[in-house]
Amino acid sequence: MKAIAYRHSLPIDNTASLEDVELPKPVLEARDLLVRVNAISVNPVDTKVRLGRAPAEGQLNVLGWDAVGIVEEVGAAVSNFKAGDRVYYAGAIDRAGANSELHAVDERIVAKAPTTLDDAQAAALPLTTITAYELLFERLGVAKNGGAGQTLLVIGGAGGVGSILIQLARQLTQLRVIATASRAETRQWCLDLGAHAVIDHSKPLSAELKAIGINEVDIVAGLTQTAQHYAEIIASLKPQGKLAVIDDMVALDLMQLKGKSISLHWEMMFTRSMFKTVDMDEQGKLLAEVAALVDAGKVRTTVNANFGKINAANLRKAHALIESGKAQGKVVLQGF
C-alpha cells in the first residue's frame, strides 16, 4: 500500500522529512477495523512527533491522527462495524498513523462519519473534537446544558481545538464563551463559530477582558502558549477557577495557583487508547454524538484549507503551515 513516512527527524523544508513509500498491508488485532483511507487532516501532534520521535535505525514511522474512510475488513472480536461502513476517527499515538491507503484502528475509538459532510470536511474533526469534548465535559466537569452565569475563556480560539470547543460550548452548555485571536480574519472566524466576544491574545488578557466588561472568568482553556500567558491567566481567573491545558511546556510554577485555589486539568486525547482504559469506548460514543450534531446542522466542519492529494509533497506543505503557528481551523488532504 502507499504511505507517507519518515526515516529521520528533519526540518520540514528538507525533502527527506516526509517520503512516499510502499508498505505491507496492516495486520489486524481482534478489535481492529481495516479502513481504506479517503481523507486525513494534519494536527500539531504530527509535527511534534516527526521532530521529536526519530525512528529506530532502518525503520519508518507513519504519522497521521485524523482519518475518514471505508471499512474493508474487521477483526475477529469486532461488534460495532461491518465492511462498507464509512467511519471517522483519530487513531492511537502508539500505533502506525493514518497517512496510508490502509489503516488498522481499534473499533472503540471509531464512529460512523457525519453523513452531511464529504470526506475532507469530516476528516477535519475527530482529534480536535475528542480533545475539546474531553476537556470541557470530563476534565473541567462542565455539565451538559450547564454553566449558566459562568464564562469560559478559550485561548487560541481559531486553532483546530478552539474552533470545535467554541461550537461545543455554545451548543451544549450555557457558558458565555470568550475566544482569543490576534488577526482580523481569525477574530471573525471565532465570531462566526459562535464566540460571544473575541479579545486579542497579543495584549495582556486581563486588560483585554476588562475592556469588554469582564473582570474575571470562571474557566480557561489554555490551548496554545499557556506558559507565555500563565501570569495573565491567573490574574484573569476567579478564585476557585479552573484551568485546562493541552499544550506542551517545559514547566509551570504550580504554586502560583495556590492563592486562588485554581485547579489545573490536563487533557491528552490519546490517554484512553494508550492505556486501554475501561472507558476507551467513550471516544467512539462522543464522536457519534458530535456526528449527530453535525448532521442536525448544529456543529460545522472546521476545515479551512485543502492541500490536495495525500502525498509527501503536500503533507510537507501542511506540516509547514502548522509549524508556522498561523493555521486557522484545519488543513486536510484527500485521496491517494
pLDDT at res. 205: 98
pLDDT at res. 326: 86
Q: Are 20 and 2 in contact (CB under 8 A)?
A: yes
pTM passes above 0.85: yes
pLDDT at res. 249: 86
Q: Edge to edge, what strands does the sheet with 197-199 contain?
A: 197-199, 176-180, 151-155, 217-222, 237-245, 263-266
Report CA Rg, the chain: 20
pLDDT at res. 251: 87
C-alpha cell at 202: 497579543
pLDDT at res. 315: 98
Residues lower than pLDDT 50 in the chain: none
Half-sphere exposure of 205 (CA within 13 A, CB side): 25
Give the separation between CA 17 and CA 10, rounded to whole angstroms: 5
pLDDT at res. 13: 96
Q: Which helix (H) or strand (E) holds 51?
A: helix 44-52
pLDDT at res. 290: 98
